[in-house]
Amino acid sequence: MGLQLSKQVTANAVYGPATTTAATFYSDKVDVSGAQGVLFTALFRSTAGSTGTCAFTVVGSNTGTAASTSYTALTGASVTVAASTTAATKRICGIDSCNPQYQYLKAKFVKQAGIIFNGCIAQKYGLASEPAAASTTYAGATAAASFDLVIGAT
């Protein structure tokens, strides 16, 4: 169970720091049944003279047991963390998926060397109730928005 901010919002840490230099990895799945949407927020920093980037996307599936690689990318749900020439430049990036067409969502990261991944949180909002058993039918129309906030010089 995640942090309960109000009756309409819950927050869960879905991935911790990644120490690998280059990798593709996925967050834990988030069951969005009973919610209007979910905001994935990820934290990054750069090494000095970084030339690497990180592609941050949201993927979905209607099968809770599906392999991460079987999840489908949501249109418009992506942001690229750019390289920085300044050491320890921090970035906060987010993708908000409102009314997703899939029941289960994950954040996907394709990280190159020079970008240090510090973690990801998922905040479900507009909750009518907590998720119940997996649904066999779940349909919606995804609206996605993303942001990239740089903290410090770039």
Q: What is the distance in angstroms between the CA of the first residue and the CA of the last residue of the chain?
A: 37
Span 130-143, average pLDDT: 46
Instruction: State how many domains the chain has.
Output: 1
* DSSP secondary structure code for residue 65 in this structure: T
Q: Residue 100 sits in a domain of what CATH number?
A: 2.60.120
Distances (CA, A) of 128 to 5, 7, 14, 36, 39: 14, 8, 21, 8, 16
Q: Is the pTM above the cut of 0.85?
A: no
CA atoms of 123 and 104, how far apart (whole Å): 14
Tokens for 53, please give them: 């980037």
| pLDDT tens per residue across span 32-54 | 988 888 999 988 887 777 777 88
Q: pLDDT per residue over 81-124, tens digit each?
A: 776 666 667 888 889 998 889 999 999 999 887 788 888 889 98
Host domain of residue 46: 3-131+138-151
pLDDT at residue 55 tops 50: yes
